[in-house]
Amino acid sequence: MASDRVFNFSAGPSAMPLEVLEEVQKELVNYKGTGMSIMEMSHRSKEFMAVASQAEKDLRDIFGVPSDYKVLMNQGGATLQFSSIPLNMLGSSDAKADYLVTGQWGEKAHKECNKYGIGQLACNTKATKFTTIPNKSEWKLDPSAAYVHYCANETVNGVEFSYTPDVGEVPLVADMSSNFCSKPIDVGKHAYIYAGIQKNLGPAGMAVGFLHPKFADGSKELKICPTYCSFKTTAANDSMYNTPACFTMYVMGEYLKYTKKVGGLQYWAEMSDKKSGMLYDAIDGSDGFYQCPVVKDARSRMNVPFTIMGGNEELEKKFLEGAKKQKLYTLAGHRSVGGCRASLYNGMPLEGVEKLTSFMKSFMDENRK
Amino acid sequence: MASDRVFNFSAGPSAMPLEVLEEVQKELVNYKGTGMSIMEMSHRSKEFMAVASQAEKDLRDIFGVPSDYKVLMNQGGATLQFSSIPLNMLGSSDAKADYLVTGQWGEKAHKECNKYGIGQLACNTKATKFTTIPNKSEWKLDPSAAYVHYCANETVNGVEFSYTPDVGEVPLVADMSSNFCSKPIDVGKHAYIYAGIQKNLGPAGMAVGFLHPKFADGSKELKICPTYCSFKTTAANDSMYNTPACFTMYVMGEYLKYTKKVGGLQYWAEMSDKKSGMLYDAIDGSDGFYQCPVVKDARSRMNVPFTIMGGNEELEKKFLEGAKKQKLYTLAGHRSVGGCRASLYNGMPLEGVEKLTSFMKSFMDENRK
């Protein structure tokens, strides 16, 4: 029941729409009268193939994926993708790739590239503690790079690109794990977009990819690429070279159906603007009681990190405890940065953010000296 | 309801115990009063960490895993493991490893090794169409091999080792994907055991590994090993270096609890013997109407391939259609070998095999010329 629900601000895995969960629950033991659970079905069965192909069709429709692009679904999350990208896109071990590093995830992606080729830093905002996105004039782009990689939204640091980086003719690669399905995107400007789905589109255990056909023929694949990671193999087998994460794929499919019903990416974009706007207003209007370390034009609509009284750990602890009593859960910042963080993915209703900002106001009134 | 269930002989994903499915369904929207679904929980939350550590504890108890062994849980199935094994166990790219190839999965594992080192064929039964396991006297074992790999049960071909191969001092590696959790195993005789869980222990999307500590310190890891595939990284982070397949892990945990309740591996072993014995008796007692291509001492208790009238495709099609009408599902052989195949994993009740053998008898009576 809706009244039993807490408001879960987890950075991922994260809140999902109740309607999706209830549909999954209803069908769990006996999927549409087949006499078996979706978890029990052969991935080659007629019934499951219909689920998988509908999910791909809905991804293509909702995201406007160009028809010649391949849709990939793989296990291993963004972390395995960090390896798969150089393994499938460098072409040779002496090739170079550019990385725009604006947070901890981009940093990991860059590091992984150096196992297989030469990962170059086109920018790196570590000196600002990952609170900014430099202007393009400051990027050091190499026109001979095999690709340029950026992380569209940094979950830990709360930094989001509000635009598609213009990198000229060099293939553009985006990690969209934590803002995928939160706004319309220009797929055709990217050579590869990938995203773990456990933020805005389902449970953990699968990543979706949209791949330009140029990288689906294996011509840039290194010989040491694990077969599981091969873009060519995945594309040629419709993401079923081996057994896929069937149940996860099915739940994503239900989430996609729900997305269509409520109004597609435009709806999620409006909701995200509204929810994040409300929270940033509460922070910025607190006269410094709450502070977000990220500069305004790089702030994420998905993950909102904030400190209390300039990083007062005692107050932050009190805040988290008080919030939990109001059914406002999982508001601690990432282990590596501390403070607080509210993640506002699609599964978080507006009501949850209203309740959070209202609690923030009363907590401030009680604790400001 | 139990009466709605079909008997699903799928080779994986496959039938699960109804009681496990019903428990998962009950808890799906609101896990134990937490106000959220297990799919929505942060993998670092207290509640989910309890689920994950209980699952590991139950794996250790049920399988008798030596306390110094590491338990690994990874996405990507056995296919990604085929790469991870040489990447973590060869030590160098000029090292050799022995492969006992007794079916299509072992063949794939062997092929993958050659990307990273020298995969040697200690035996290969392809000439018998993978219907045998040669005696040890015929194996060409190299005492300097980094490891010996075997596939304990070949799902496609229906070939199963009924014993642990004796390979002396060389580390032994087993792919147990399709007979894991079907009988007690001697973990301590293996350097590494791995298994996709979608046969006898849960839904698709995760593989479990039991690793000797010698291979958990990274000393044999190649530099090109993707971080996601690193045994060292996985072990050091309790399989949570990045977001794991949380829901899949939870369902496996429920399956493990059920396994304990019914009597552990001994119970599954007795059931497997009984079910497969009944089916092989029906085949062998059919005076050649049904035939299993696998020699008796290499026959699998999990996957029983058989032909009808020496491979009469018309009759086989009629058989599959008739079976479906009796709620006996997914009995076609693997695309690559044709014929019929019944998989008898833990989720298949004895009643299903009784119904199958009874149908086989009446089909034979009607169609024998």
Domain end residue (candidates: A261, A278, A307): A261
**Hey, which residues does A210 pair with through a beta bridge?**
A71, A193
Distances (CA, A) of B276 to A228, B8, B195, B292: 32, 15, 21, 12
d(CA B199, CA B213): 27
Q: Note whether A282 and A199 are same-domain residues.
A: no
Pairing of strands A328-329, A7-8: parallel
Q: Note whether B250 and B273 are same-domain residues.
A: no
Is residue A125 a part of any domain in this protein? yes
d(CA B197, CA B157): 19
Q: Note whether A140 and A247 are same-domain residues.
A: yes
pLDDT digits (tens, 9 = 90+) for A99-108: 999 999 999 9
Q: What is the DSSP string of A117-186?
A: SEEEEEEE-GGGTS-----GGG----TT-S-EEEESEETTTTEE-SS----TTSPEEEE-TTTTTSS---
pLDDT the model gives residue B1:
60
**CA-based angle B328:B329:B333, to the nearest 5?**
115
Residues 6+ apart with CB under 8 A from A25: B25, B28, B29
Number of H helices, E strands in chain B: 9, 14
d(CA A60, CA A210): 9
Is residue A332 a part of any domain in this protein? yes
* A31 phi and psi angles, rounded to 5 deg: -75, 110
Question: Which one of the listed residues A98, A105, A139, A268 is annotated catalytic?
Answer: A105
B50 to chain A, any CB pair closer than 8 A? The answer is no
| A-B C-beta contacts closer than 8 Å | 234
A277 to chain B, any CB pair closer than 8 A? The answer is no
Show residues of chain A in contact with B11, CB under 8 Å: 42
Show residues of chain A in contact with B21, CB under 8 Å: 28-29, 37, 39-40
Check residue A332 and give left, alpha or beta (phi > 0: left; psi -120 to 50: alpha).
beta
- Calculate how close chain A gets to B135, using CA atoms only, in Å: 31
Q: Note whether A25 and A139 are same-domain residues.
A: yes
Distances (CA, A) of B27 to A78, B18, B55, B59: 28, 14, 17, 22
Among candidates A245, A302, A206, which has minimal Cα distance to A10?
Answer: A302
Identify whether the C-beta of residue A153 lies closer than 8 Å to the C-beta of residue A290.
Answer: no
B80: nearest CA in chain A?
Answer: A228
**What's chain A's average pLDDT?**
97
Q: How many domains does chain B have?
A: 2
Check residue A197 and give left, alpha or beta (phi > 0: left; psi -120 to 50: alpha).
alpha
Mean pLDDT computed over A343-350: 98
Mean pLDDT computed over B27-44: 97
Mutation target among B108, B247, B249, B330 for the A interface, most CBs of A within 10 A: B247
Residue A193 has pLDDT above 90, yes or no: yes
pLDDT the model gives residue A102:
98
Q: Note whether A80 and A205 are same-domain residues.
A: yes
Residues 6+ apart with CB under 8 A from A59: A65, A71, A208, A256
Q: How confident is the model at residue A90 (pLDDT cuts 50, 70, 90)?
A: very high
Q: Note whether A82 and A205 are same-domain residues.
A: yes
Q: Note whether B174 and B269 are same-domain residues.
A: no
pLDDT the model gives residue A52:
98
Q: Note whether A247 and A302 are same-domain residues.
A: no
Residues 6+ apart with CB under 8 A from A134: A123, A125
Domain end residue (candidates: A197, A227, A261): A261
Positive or negative CA dihedral for B90, B93, B96, B101? positive
Give the 3-state secondary structure of residue A195: strand
Identify whether the C-beta of residue A352 lies closer than 8 Å to the C-beta of residue A9.
Answer: yes
Is residue B4 a part of any domain in this protein? no
d(CA A272, CA A276): 6
pLDDT the model gives residue A1:
60
Residues 6+ apart with CB under 8 A from A92: A117, A222
Mean pLDDT computed over A317-334: 96
Residue A110 has pLDDT above 80, yes or no: yes
pLDDT digits (tens, 9 = 90+) for A203-255: 999 999 999 999 999 999 999 999 999 999 999 999 999 999 999 999 999 99
B199 catalytically annotated:
yes
pLDDT the model gives residue B159:
98
d(CA B200, CA B346): 5
pLDDT digits (tens, 9 = 90+) for A250-289: 999 999 999 999 999 999 999 999 999 999 999 999 999 9
d(CA B230, CA B86): 11
Between residues A368 and A320, which one has the greater pLDDT?
Answer: A320
Among candidates B196, B237, B184, B238, which has minimal Cα distance to B54?
Answer: B238
Percent of chain B with pLDDT over 70: 99
Q: Note whether B142 and B189 are same-domain residues.
A: yes
Is residue A220 a part of any domain in this protein? yes
Q: How confident is the model at residue A2 (pLDDT cuts 50, 70, 90)?
A: low
Is residue A313 a part of any domain in this protein? yes
Q: Note whether A151 and A285 are same-domain residues.
A: no
B58 catalytically annotated:
no
B29 to chain A, any CB pair closer than 8 A? The answer is yes
Q: Note whether B360 and B235 are same-domain residues.
A: no
Q: Note whether B161 and B121 are same-domain residues.
A: yes
CB atoms within 10 A of CB B67: 6
Is residue A16 a part of any domain in this protein? no
B115 to chain A, any CB pair closer than 8 A? The answer is yes
Show residues of chain A in contact with B83, CB under 8 Å: 226-229
The tokens describing B194, both together, are: 């791995």
Residue A369 has pLDDT above 80, yes or no: no
A329 to chain B, any CB pair closer than 8 A? The answer is yes
Identify whether the C-beta of residue B209 lies closer than 8 Å to the C-beta of residue B189.
Answer: no
* A106 phi and psi angles, rounded to 5 deg: -60, -35
CATH number for the domain spanning A286: value is 3.90.1150.10
CATH number for the domain spanning B67: value is 3.40.640.10
Question: Which one of the listed residues A70, A98, A139, A175 is annotated catalytic?
Answer: A175
Mean pLDDT computed over A341-350: 98
Range of the domain at B62: 21-261
Is residue B13 a part of any domain in this protein? no
pLDDT the model gives residue B73:
98
Identify whether the C-beta of residue A77 lies closer than 8 Å to the C-beta of residue B243.
Answer: yes
d(CA A150, CA B36): 33
Between residues A335 and B23, which one has the greater pLDDT?
Answer: B23
pLDDT the model gives residue A335:
86
Positive or negative CA dihedral for A91, A93, A97, A102? positive
The tokens describing B255, both together, are: 């399956």
pLDDT the model gives residue B116:
98
Check residue A69 and give left, alpha or beta (phi > 0: left; psi -120 to 50: alpha).
beta
Percent of chain A with pLDDT over 90: 98
pLDDT digits (tens, 9 = 90+) for B280-327: 999 999 999 999 999 999 999 999 999 999 999 999 999 999 999 999
Pairing of strands A148-151, A96-101: parallel
Among candidates B268, B195, B317, B302, which has minimal Cα distance to B17?
Answer: B268
Task: Give the DSSP letter of residue A333.
Answer: P
pLDDT digits (tens, 9 = 90+) for B40-66: 999 999 999 999 999 999 999 999 999
* A327 phi and psi angles, rounded to 5 deg: 65, 25
Taking the alpha carbons at both ends of chain A, their separation in whole angstroms is 40
B326 to chain A, any CB pair closer than 8 A? The answer is no
Is residue A219 a part of any domain in this protein? yes
Among candidates A64, A164, A63, A145, which has minimal Cα distance to A98?
Answer: A145
B287 catalytically annotated:
no
Identify whether the C-beta of residue B313 lies closer than 8 Å to the C-beta of residue B172.
Answer: no
CB atoms within 10 A of CB B121: 15
Window B:141-160, CB contacts with A under 8 Å: none
The tokens describing A162, both together, are: 């509000």
Read off the amino acid at residue A343.
S
Model pTM? Answer: 0.98
A343 to chain B, any CB pair closer than 8 A? The answer is no
Identify whether the C-beta of residue A40 lies closer than 8 Å to the C-beta of residue B10.
Answer: yes
Domain end residue (candidates: A232, A261, A290): A261
pLDDT the model gives residue A219:
98
pLDDT digits (tens, 9 = 90+) for B111-144: 999 999 999 999 999 999 999 999 999 999 999 9
pLDDT the model gives residue B2:
67
